[in-house]
Amino acid sequence: MISQPLLEWYAIHARQLPWRDHPDPYAIWISEIMLQQTRVETVVDYFTNWMQTFPDIVTLANSSEQDVLRQWEGLGYYSRARNIHKTARILQSDFDGQLPADLQTLQKLPGIGRYTAAAITSMAFGMNQAALDGNIRRILSRIFDVSLPIRTPAAEKLFWELAEENLPPGQAGNYNQALMDLGATICLPGKPKCLLCPLQQHCLAFERGVQERRPVIPEKKPVPHYIVTAAILEHNQHFLLAQRPANGLLGGLWEFPGGKQEENETLPEALQREIMEELGCEISVEAHFGEYQHAYTHFRVTLHAFICSLIKGEPQPIEASQLAWVRAEQLSDYPMGKIDRQIAEQLRKNADKSL
């Protein structure tokens, strides 16, 4: 069993994190969703601000989706925030504003999968549930020298079995958190600090000298790169924003309208076509405002923003959920993705300089 040396190490080296100060189910739930695909250092401030704004499930459920997205802005993967909001409303209506202490019931709620349900039940309710995240997979792949490619069905089945077999009864919460901390501080992806590891004597990969080759990661596919355009349309000191549809990438967020450049198009041609398709109006493209880069999980984007003017027609929300004309100083009230926020901030600064 690896649990005893691990728990002894954790008793001394546990990270001080705000959701561990008062490990109630709501705090554990929010922190675990935030920690998906996001570094702990980033999450700490977001979590603190979130709990100040939405101190309990009822407050969250009674808030608008736009308030929730605005609070989430910058964390990315916005479906997480929308699912949190949906779940809060279900909890308010069906569970008296409380998270249920049942693994299967939790997994029926939006955005809560097997890992998150296990984290909540073990850490908040003291139940004997093993958890399995990226850190824990990496540790188990090294301790037991698992040569199966990670994330394959066979590997997932084996990792869950190993996690459950090594679970110490009555201490699942600390055990799961200890594994997470070990993976975040010692059993690192690139250069594991094996000489500091409390599980070194139990680690088959270390014994065989293959710890840096575990876990086995399948070869990554090339990441597509898209060239995207955006129109900055101004009328009477108001800028046009379009709200993205609720479903899909950046759902519910606001943006400066535009879209992808197609083959054999110039950037102005691409922007004029996209605006006609999305808003049903003609524009003139007048000046390049800025170039912006952003990497998403499965692709990356270079966005070119242009100052534009309306030539013919009134903008209509053909593809957007809705449109809004917004003053520069009010752009911060609208939740946006990172690139659009950069554009909005530059417009606000420009407006401040002109005062």
Catalytic residues: 32
- Phi/psi at 223 (5° precision): -90, 120
Whole-number Cα distances in Å, 106 to 53, 96, 103? 24, 14, 5
The angle subtended at Cα 108 by Cα 102 and Cα 112, nearest 5°, is 85
Helix H or strand E segment including 10: helix 3-13
Residue 215: asked if its preceding bond is cis (omega within 30°), the reply is: yes
Ramachandran class of 105: left when φ > 0, alpha when ψ lies in -120 to 50, beta otherwise: alpha
**Amino acid of residue 243:** Q
Which stretches of 18-133 are DSSP H helices? Answer: 18-21, 25-35, 40-53, 57-61, 65-72, 79-94, 103-107, 114-123
Q: Supply φ then ψ for residue 159, to 5 degrees.
A: -65, -40
Query: What does the radius of gyration of the chain's CA atoms come to, in whole angstroms?
Result: 24
Structure tokens at 163: 């996690």
- Whether 327 contacts 238, CB under 8 Å: yes
